[in-house]
């Protein structure tokens, strides 16, 4: 089972927390990100599997970038959420 990294971002796309979790596949990781978004009230969550960013479809309630370019990851590592 692969290990996924979840990066919770604030409105300025800075990392405010992160979590590592083993998930069956990308779909299960996306589902976990939705749970994290609800728990933390921060809908902007990046999902990473090693060095690959997992695409995350966003519902109409979540903020969406104005273009299709990915937002570069932040180097800020101030917090961590543990499950």
Condensed to tens digits (0 to 9), the pLDDT of residues 5-62 reads: 999 999 999 999 999 999 999 999 999 999 999 999 999 999 999 999 999 875 544 4
- How far CA 74 is from CA of 10, 26, 59, 82, in Å, comes to 11, 21, 23, 20
Contact call for residues 6 and 73 (beta carbons, < 8 A) = no
More confident residue, 55 or 69: 55
The residue ranges of every structural domain in the chain are 3-54
Q: What is the pLDDT of residue 75?
A: 59
Tokens 């479809």 — which residue? Answer: 57
β 52-54/3-9 pair status: unpaired
Q: What is the pLDDT of residue 57?
A: 73
pTM: 0.68
β 3-9/15-22 pair status: antiparallel
Tokens 């966003």 — which residue? Answer: 58
């Amino acid at each position: 089972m692969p290990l996924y990294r979840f990066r919770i971002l604030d409105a300025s796309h800075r990392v405010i927390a992160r979590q590592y979790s083993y998930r069956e596949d990308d779909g299960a990781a996306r589902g976990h990100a939705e749970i994290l978004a609800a728990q933390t009230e921060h809908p902007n969550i990046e999902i990473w599997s090693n060095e690959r960013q997992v695409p995350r479809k966003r519902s109409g309630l979540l903020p969406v970038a104005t273009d299709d370019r990915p937002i570069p990851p932040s180097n800020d590592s101030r917090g961590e959420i543990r499950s």
